[in-house]
Structure 1
Amino acid sequence: GAQAGTQAMALLSERLCGMEKKRWLRMPELDQCAYKMAFR
């Protein structure tokens, strides 16, 4: 329901944030860290 939708949006925003980090910083370590935190 609403909770699942909220989780999906959070994951999507985390993924988009990771893409922004990759584009601006090009640091795979930071992207991996954000990815792990999204699934913590």
Structure 2
Amino acid sequence: MTFLLTLYVLVWPVIVAGVLFVIGRAFYREVRAAKAEGRTII
């Protein structure tokens, strides 16, 4: 039971890191597209 609890607690940072990676990658693509079109992000 301790192993399952440990696995459950340790999987959350992996999920959060994955979500942050996806958001960061999408933002980077938007910045590149805006720069190519000559417009600002804001």
Which TM class, normalised by the smaller chain length?
A: 0.5 to 0.7
Where do 5+ consecutive residues of structure 2 fail to align?
Answer: 1-11, 38-42
User: What's the C-alpha RMSD, in Å, of the aligned pairs?
Assistant: 0.8
Deviating above 2 A after TM superposition, structure 1's stretches of 4 or more consecutive aligned residues are none
Where do 5+ consecutive residues of structure 1 fail to align?
Answer: 27-40
In the superposition, the TM-score normalised over structure 2's length comes to: 0.58
Partners of 1:25 and 1:15 lie apart in 2 by 15
Aligned residue-pair number:
26
1:2 alignment counterpart: 13
Aligned-residue identity in percent: 0
Question: Bigger relative contact order, structure 1 or 2, given CA contacts below 8 A and separation 6+?
Answer: 1
Q: CA deviation at 1:7?
A: 0.4
